[in-house]
Amino acid sequence: MKQGLSVMAYLPGNAGERPGPACGAEVGAITVIEGRHFGEMRRTDAQSWLESEAPLSPMGREFLLYWHSKCPAPPGSGFPTRADIAPEEIPRLLPHIFMVDVLEREGEDLDFHFRLVGTAIANIEGEHTDRQLSDMFPDRAAYEVLWRQYRDAVAGNIWVRRETLRWRDRDHVEYEVILAPLQDDAGRVSMLIGLAHGSDN
């Protein structure tokens, strides 16, 4: 971890644009984002929905059902922890899973450190384990919807983003990205777990 950075501990609801709902709470909104260029790959035709209104793929639904199954009882008492996530329970999802630490620089906005990136994600997007979101997308205004997806996940708001990845020399991929919070033993959101995959799965 870079000097001056620490893992950020957030209570659900104290980041993002609205209070974070409990696991399973229904919220809804939609926004459309423009395509952006990422080297030789372009992200186009992107849309994002809050969980309750999202047109989920079967894999996206499987991921969210698993995350909700790990939420503590009773509803509204918090989010799953990292220890609740058992890789042997989700073998089909593992290549498409990524995990990020929530980071804080004193006096600055949140940042996110990629702790783990699944092999299927790396095959499509390139390897970015140990990178920070601010290194990959330094212009936060230009990538506001992407940054909001991360910030709102810290607050407990789960966005589902779907977009088309395009290359000059290969077939395009319809891509789905979901982020959900993980809390630490103190009940604070310090990690996010995500799913990123071609949405025909």
Tell me if 56 is assigned to some domain.
yes
pLDDT class of 130 with cuts at 50, 70, 90: very high
Flag whether 71 is in a domain.
yes
In a domain, 133, yes or no: yes
With respect to residue 22, please indicate whether it lies within any of the assigned structural domains. no
What pLDDT does 19 receive?
39
Share of residues in the chain with pLDDT > 70 (%) = 78
CA–CA separation, 191 vs 110, rounded Å?
12
Distance CA 25, CA 37 (A): 34
* Better-scored residue on pLDDT, 196 or 38: 196
The answer to whether the predicted template modeling score (pTM) of the entire model surpasses 0.85 is no
C-alpha to C-alpha distances, 76 to 25, 47, 101, 136, 170, nearest whole angstrom: 8, 28, 23, 34, 45
**pLDDT score of 49:** 85
Burial of 135: CB neighbours in 10 Å, binned 0-12, 13-18, 19+ = exposed
Q: pLDDT digits over 155-199, tens only?
A: 999 999 888 888 787 788 888 999 999 999 998 999 999 999 986
Residue showing tokens 């926004």: 31
pLDDT, tens digit (0-9, with 9 covering 90-100), for 62-96: 999 999 999 988 877 899 999 999 999 999 999 99
Strands 41-50 and 97-104: unpaired
CA 17 vs. chain centroid, Å, equals: 16
Angle (nearest 5°) at CA 19 between 17 and 25: 120
Residue 1 belongs to some domain of the structure:
no
Total domain count for the chain?
A: 1
| Residue 132: domain span | 6-17+27-198
Task: Decide if 41 is inside a domain.
Answer: yes
pLDDT computed for residue 112 by the predictor: 97
